[in-house]
Amino acid sequence: MSTGPTSATAASTPSGSAGTTATLPRLDSSGTPAVGLSTLVPVELRKAVDTRAGRWLVAAILALTAAAVALVVAVSDDGERTMADLLSFAATPQGLLLPVLGILLVTGEWSQRTALVTFALTPSRSQVVSAKLLAALLLALAAVVGAILAAATATAVSGTEDGFADVGVTTILLFAALQLLNVVMGVAFGLLLLRTPTAISVFFILPAVSSILFTTVPALADLAPWLDIQTAQMPLANGDFSLTGEQLGQVAVTGLLWVGLPLLAGWWRATRAEVK
């Protein structure tokens, strides 16, 4: 059709590219610095806090955690609160807001349509999702450390006798695991639903509905700790970190059901959904 470009291309074809028979130049990206998780996780962390909404959310998590602990100490009688006690209070604002952070990290790409750019620069969507998951976990970990420091400070200040007696490595690990599980659940629901309002509503409504269902229908009562995530996590939420083996099993099973499954399904959806 057009004779000009053909000859021009032939002339500009690199003579060194042996074995290429095509008239068009080959693209060789083997020498380009690769983009891996060590690049993408810092990028995702940056994206989580480089907007006003993101910064406020992180600030709110830290401030509310500190405020919750301070408030409890202020209204309690001296020497009443132990560290495990205070940790469970610190967990409340975190439990509400960390998942939102996880949800926004994912759904923001769709609602703000930045997925178009993100996936153009990193075609491996699983890599992007992994980076988001790791970034959410790192942010949650930072919040957990903040909560533990706040609770420890408050325990020391309130002067409770043996205030640290009920806090062992297990307590700390369980507390951290619960918060991390929570943020992963947020990421999972974000991946599954891809829309901010939907993901946030479903994240809060679905477990509540499940909880009501399992506690009001007598026939389901026995199954509740194994199927309902709020029932299973009840002791932890109440500051009782000394779980039996069975209770641990229930936390794990509901975790698989409420976090593992949505994560798998969400991963599948987000890596295949058409980006427009």
Partner 1 sequence: MIDVRELTRSYGAHRAVDGISFTTRPGRVTGFLGPNGAGKSTAMRMIIGLTAPTSGTATIGGVAYQDIVNPGRHVGVLLDAGAQHDGRTGREILTIGAQTMRLPRSRVDEMLATVSLSDEEAHRRFRDYSLGMKQRLGIAHALLGDPAVLILDEPANGLDPAGIRWMRDLLKGYARRGGTVLLSSHLLHEVELVADDLVLIGRGRIVAQGDLASLGSGDGRGAALVTAQDNDALAAALAREGLRSEPEGTGLRVHAGTADVGRVAAEHRLVLTDLRSGAQGLEDLFLELTASTQREAPSTTDGHATTSTTKGAPR
Longest dimension (CA), the chain: 91
- By CB under 8 A, residue 52 contacts partner 1: yes
- By CB under 8 A, residue 269 contacts partner 1: no
Sign of the dihedral defined by the CA atoms of residues 196, 198, 204, 206, in that order? negative
- By CB under 8 A, residue 32 contacts partner 1: yes
Residues 155-184 contacting partner 1, CB under 8 A? none
Residues 192-251 contacting partner 1, CB under 8 A? none
User: Which CB sits closer to partner 1, 24 or 71?
Assistant: 24
Long-range contacts: 51-60, Cβ < 8 Å, 24+? 53/104, 54/101, 54/104, 57/97, 57/100, 57/101, 57/104, 58/101, 58/139, 60/93, 60/97
In angstroms, give the least distance from the CB of 122 to partner 1: 7
Cβ atoms 86, 69 nearer than 8 A = yes
What's the CA gap between 198 and 192, in Å, rounded? 10
- By CB under 8 A, residue 190 contacts partner 1: no
In angstroms, give the least distance from the CB of 272 to partner 1: 8
- By CB under 8 A, residue 15 contacts partner 1: no
CA angle 204, 233, 246 (to 5 degrees): 145
Cβ atoms 232, 226 nearer than 8 A = yes
Phi-psi sector, 162: left (phi>0), alpha (psi -120 to 50), beta? left
CA angle 199, 201, 207 (to 5 degrees): 100
Q: Which of 15, 16, 19, 27 binds partner 1 (CB under 8 A)?
A: 27
- By CB under 8 A, residue 1 contacts partner 1: yes
Number of residues counted as binding partner 1 (CB under 8 A): 48
- By CB under 8 A, residue 141 contacts partner 1: no
Q: Which of 15, 16, 19, 33 binds partner 1 (CB under 8 A)?
A: 33
Residues 85-124 contacting partner 1, CB under 8 A? 108, 112-114, 116-124
- By CB under 8 A, residue 18 contacts partner 1: no
Return residues touching partner 1 (CB under 8 A).
1-2, 4-5, 8-9, 12, 20, 22, 24-30, 32-35, 39-40, 42-43, 46-47, 50-54, 108, 112-114, 116-124, 272, 274-276
